[in-house]
Amino acid sequence: MDVKNNINFSPILTIILIALVTTIGSEIKLVPFEDAPFRFGLGTIIFLLAVLIKPVPILKTGIITGVTIVLCRVSLDYLFMNEELLTSFVERFPAALFYISFAFCLHKLNIELYKTKPLALGLFAAIFEIISNMIEEAFTLLFVTKHTIHTEEFILFITIAFIRSFSVVGIYSTITIAEQKKQVQQLLSIGSNLYVETMYLKKSMDHIEQITASSFELYKQLKPLDSNLSTQALMISQEIHEVKKDSQRIYSSLSKITTTKSLDSTLLSNLLHYITAGNKTYTEYHKKDIHFNVSYNKNFYIEEPIALLALLNNLVANAIEAIIDKGTINIAVNITKNKTVITVEDTGIGIPKTMLPIIFDAGFTTKFNNDGNASTGIGLSHVQSIIERLEGEIAVTSDETTKFTIVIPTHKLYRGDN
């Protein structure tokens, strides 16, 4: 019983909140013509945007919103204008008709199907607002006032309806696109980490393969000499083979994730934005003031976005750690027909010249945690492995600034349908 109440409470609370906010917004209004019985407020904008963002029962929300608006206005009339309740109710009831009609139309349309079609959604919303306005005005003319709608007023109805509807759809689309970009950024970040781990697993699998072959060879050599030892060697070989099969299953699953086609259409500009946005957070974590400069001579769709993201994230993170308190990181991409040159340059403490020849060796590190334990030292070796897989090269210089220069064949990064 408690679980059911918790599940149902949130939508009801959301509907009530939409109704209250819409009621407040509807009081911020514009009266376009003197003595005209209609007015334009923010209520419609708030209501439409709310039901687009929050998946609530639209018809129920429209009914509750309409009733809330009428009750609120009747109460204000009674308290501050001394109007009779019945008279005030008849005058205010058309507003409820508008929201109920508008919600009914949206409900029948099933707006969930049109959220990815902004032009169609904006058009339908404008038409529904015009219909709802006409229903509201028809009741007003019959029971409240005999004001006749003139041609210019009707044109104003249509114009305002289109402006409000397309404005709301534009705002919603902007919010949706921003959220989608955030999700893609998170997906790419996860994918880049998995990509590196997949490479590490592939190396381990190659090593396991060598050990399996060596242990089986040992079994064959021991077999004519000592049956007990040869049996033990065979058992070890079989156990290693099982580990290899488990590793292959994991590698197969990870490979599908890190080569997912949904990420193949990543633009270079978007990828560089994801890198700087993510690493600005890393900069703030280290409480440093670092400025990022990003440049590229051509924007293009990347063939291997996760690989490029993985190696650039590693180099930029290292640059952040190398900078003391304040500095600059420059990321540049220069693409030509045959090769793409990528540079990552920072104003950090630099790398001693004696260490430059060995920084890409697995296990090399200059980083230690607060307990004095060294890091794994596999970051730059993974960067080099990624670049080698892309048939590229990497070089580093360290004088006043530290600069990593990566050269990759363009056909490895650049999609031909750009």
- Supply φ then ψ for residue 326, to 5 degrees: -145, 140
pTM over 0.75: no
Q: Is residue 43 predicted with pLDDT exceeding 50?
A: yes
- 30 pLDDT exceeds 80? no
Taking alpha carbons only, the member of 34, 29, 319, 307 closest to residue 150 is 34
Query: Tokens 């007990």 identify what position?
Result: 228
Q: Which of 72, 90, 55, 86 is nearest to 19 (CA)?
A: 72
> Does residue 45 have a pLDDT over 80?
yes
Position 57 scores a pLDDT of 92
pLDDT at 196: 58
Q: What percent of the chain has pLDDT over 70?
A: 79
Express each pLDDT in 248-272 by its tens digit.
777 776 666 655 444 445 788 888 8
Strands (E), 159-316: 289-296
Q: How many CB atoms sit inside 10 A of residue 87's CB?
A: 12
pLDDT number for residue 121: 92
Question: φ and ψ at 290, to 5 degrees?
Answer: -125, 130
* The pLDDT of residue 4: 43
pLDDT at 411 over 50: yes
3-state DSSP assignment of residue 347: coil
Q: How far apart are CA 1 and CA 415, in angstroms?
A: 56
342's enclosing H/E stretch is: strand 339-346
Separation of alpha carbons 306 and 266, rounded Å: 9
Q: For residue 63, what are the CA distances in angstroms to 8, 103, 111, 262, 290?
A: 18, 8, 17, 41, 53
Q: What is the pLDDT of residues 298-330, one digit of tens each?
A: 888 887 777 788 888 889 988 998 899 899 999
- Residue 290's alpha-carbon distances to 47, 127, 275, 324, 400, in angstroms, are 42, 51, 14, 10, 17
What phi and psi values does residue 291 have, to the nearest 5 degrees?
A: -100, 135
No. of helices (H) and no. of strands (E), the chain: 11, 7
Element (H, E) at 397: strand 393-398
- Nearest alpha carbon to residue 334 among 343, 344, 326: 343
3-state secondary structure (DSSP) of residue 255: helix
72-100: pLDDT as tens digits: 999 998 888 888 888 889 889 999 999 99
Q: Provide the token pair at 210.
A: 């060598």
Distance CA 182, CA 284 (A): 18
Give the model's pLDDT for residue 290: 93
Q: What count of residues does the chain have?
A: 418
Beta carbons of 307 and 386 less than 8 angstroms apart: yes
Please give the residue that has the higher pLDDT: either 279 or 9: 279
| Residue 304, token pair as written in the block | 């291997």
